[in-house]
Amino acid sequence: MQVKDKIAIVTGAGSGIGAATAKHLAKHGAKVVVSDIKEEKAQMVADEISKEGGGASVITANVAKFEEVEKLIADTVKKYGQLDVMVNNAGIGPRNMARVGEYTLDDWDSVIAVNQTGVFYCMKQALIQMTKQGHGNIVNIASLAGLKASLNNISYSASKFAVVGMTKSAALEYATKNIRINAVCPGYTESALLDKLLSVRPDMDQRLKSVIPMKRYGQADEIADAVVWLASDNTRFITGQTITLDGGTSL
């Protein structure tokens, strides 16, 4: 995939889909800024990339804080001179899953702050830089929960529907600026979020697999493949799209 020598930021890159994406980008020749709220996890991913001969650096950031997003973009441009690819992967789930009437305000506020507002902050600052340099590519990590109903999960669902909408709106606004913006919508994927759910509700494992036609969860590497493809020059005529990777669940 054509990402060689591109400068890419991946948020939430300390684990899961973010880590897999950072490694895939580096494997194909991109220079990757591994960004995560947890510096130790980000450094482990960057070290692994370096051991494999790739180029990586670490910049910690909490995407829910605008000043930290500003610094993330500014420090990347200061170090590398430009920003070619922004992968907005950082995301969280609620502490407690519940119906809307019983949903806590803390769970609503925290999830929306990271998953929705954080993506807006990162898109806003990345687009300022990409407009200046005359090119760019943004890939947002949404979810199957941003395309269909998700029970007892109102903040997560709302945030991921918002990511899909923001992706399409921004793609339309910047289509004439040589900037492409797309999203991927993973279904049930092996990740920290899924592990958290299954630790609370072990009975959900077989129930979830029963609604997936392929009868298995997705792998982080499989999602990363699609992200890097969208971030590459192989997809120069694709913008404003959502690619669903769910093993057929949405069928």
Does some domain include residue 46?
yes
Does some domain include residue 128?
yes
The CA angle 111-115-116, to the nearest 5 degrees, is 105
CA distances from 232 to 139, 194, 226 (A): 10, 28, 10
Average pLDDT over residues 182-202: 80
Number of domains present in the structure of the chain: 1
Does some domain include residue 197?
no
156 labelled catalytic? yes
pLDDT tens digits for range 175-185: 999 999 999 99
Does some domain include residue 157?
yes
Label residues 201-226 b or e (16+ Cβ within 10 Å = b).
eeeeeeebeeebeeeebbebebbbbb
Q: Are residues 25 and 228 in contact, defined by beta-carbon separation less than 8 angstroms?
A: yes
Q: In terms of residue numbers, what domain contains 93?
A: 7-189+220-245
CATH of the domain at 172: 3.40.50.720
Does some domain include residue 233?
yes
Does some domain include residue 76?
yes
Name the pTM for this structure: 0.95
Does some domain include residue 213?
no
Kindly indicate the confidence band of residue 64, based on its pLDDT and cuts at 50, 70 and 90: very high
Does some domain include residue 209?
no
The one catalytic residue in 121, 156, 174, 217 is 156
